[in-house]
Chain A
Amino acid sequence: MIIPQTLSELTGPVYGHGSVTDADRDLTNRHRGKPIGERIIVEGRVIDEDGRAVRDSLVELWQANAAGRYAHRVDRHDAPLDPNFTGAGRALTDAEGRYRFVTIKPGAYPWLNHSNAWRPAHIHFSLWGPSFLTRLVTQMYFPGDPLLALDPIYNSVPDPRGRERLLANFDLSLTQPEHALGYRFDIVLRGRQATPMEKSHG
């Protein structure tokens, strides 16, 4: 049911700059050694639907390692853990709404949803934005992945243009020579005048 937006909904958690450090956004540099896999840069801008930059906002991400294994006790996939990769990071957006992570390209991940089911390579994102209403949890995918067409989670977004917005774009200008490929993933949150969103159950 729809309720009026009160001060409770129009405010939301604020994270201080002290709670997030630069080291938190380099997932390849959190352990003694370097993780195995293809190093990538994921960068983007967080804006709201009115085109305004969402600044000083917490962006968190988590993902499988290059072999497609999560560093989580519940994940029983027969692929190696990487002692040098946890797969979690956090960053605050800057004044223009930009964020940037350095990580490893995640591997495809098998799950038991149906026979021979594989998740396309993906990175989970969590954002708060400026209020309780702007909360977003989503997944970023890589262009050209043949598993996208088969994935019920990616295809749970009914609008083809919506699915396209979950794809990162390879970006040569973000790519660093002899170091890492660059992917751009821009994120659009709800605006300040947003009307209530219809709820959809899974």
Chain B
Amino acid sequence: MAELTPFQTVGPFFAICLSEDGCAQLSAEEAVGRHISIEGTVRDGAGAVVPDSLVEIWQANAAGKYAHPDDHQTKPLDPHFTGYGRAPTDGEGRFSIATIMPGRVPGPDEQLQAPHLLLSILARGVLTRLVTRVYFADEPSTADDPILSLVPANRRDTLIAKREGGDRYRFDLVLQGDGETVFFDV
């Protein structure tokens, strides 16, 4: 086995490369599904906002199909939706992602997972990346999700986006300490 190349922090200057215009917009207007936005603030362990982190998103399309060759489900691909986006946080630690509500995809033992996005955060001072999931408070299946159920009940809230009226959802992140978002080893 070849040994892995180690991870190194993304540093403060990634924006000259990793944040081209338009990549916080996953959903072209033509994309099928319910168009939503996910907005939030990233804070560190001291409660201070993190102004130069990078939020990355990976998700299925509205039918619950990933635009990837290893997804063999017989569900339709959406030519207007790749499922990938990224957004740097602004001076106040805020990010905003425009996307569509993902469909349900299979989980362990072919049990369907609730609609969710994979979200990772890269930031200066963080040696690797932090990986979490975004679920939706107003999706009935969230309560029975096989992965979310593995998270201690008193911390599940950190993975659930709250609807703020219309098609806007709020998902704040805390990188460390009190109220820390649950991050996964994947």
Chain A residues engaging chain B, CB cutoff 8 angstroms: 1-14, 47-51, 60-62, 64, 70-72, 74-75, 86-90, 124, 126, 130-133, 135-139, 153-154, 156-157, 159, 161-163, 165-166, 187-191, 196-202
Contact = CB atoms under 8 A, between A and B. Distances in A.
Interface of A is mostly: loop
B17 A62 contact: yes
Interface of B: 1-18, 52, 56, 58-60, 66-71, 82-84, 105-108, 113, 116, 118, 120, 122, 125-131, 133, 147, 150-151, 175-176, 182-186
Contacts of B120: 132, 135
B5 to A, nearest CB: 5
A161 B7 CA distance: 13
B60 A165 contact: no
Contact of B4 (A86, A190, A196): A190
A4 B113 CA distance: 12
B125 A6 contact: no
Contacts, number: 180
Contacts of A165: 3-6
Contacts of A74: 12-13, 52
B127 to A, nearest CB: 4
Contacts of A50: 1-2
A70 B116 CA distance: 36
Nearest to A73: B15
Nearest to A113: B125
Contact of B106 (A3, A6, A124, A190): A6
A174 B113 CA distance: 49
10 contacts: A1-B151, A12-B84, A13-B82, A51-B1, A86-B16, A196-B185, A197-B185, A199-B184, A199-B185, A201-B126
B186 A132 contact: yes
Nearest to B45: A201
A12 B6 CA distance: 20
Contact of B68 (A1, A14, A135, A191): A14
Contacts of A75: 13
Contacts of A135: 56, 120, 129
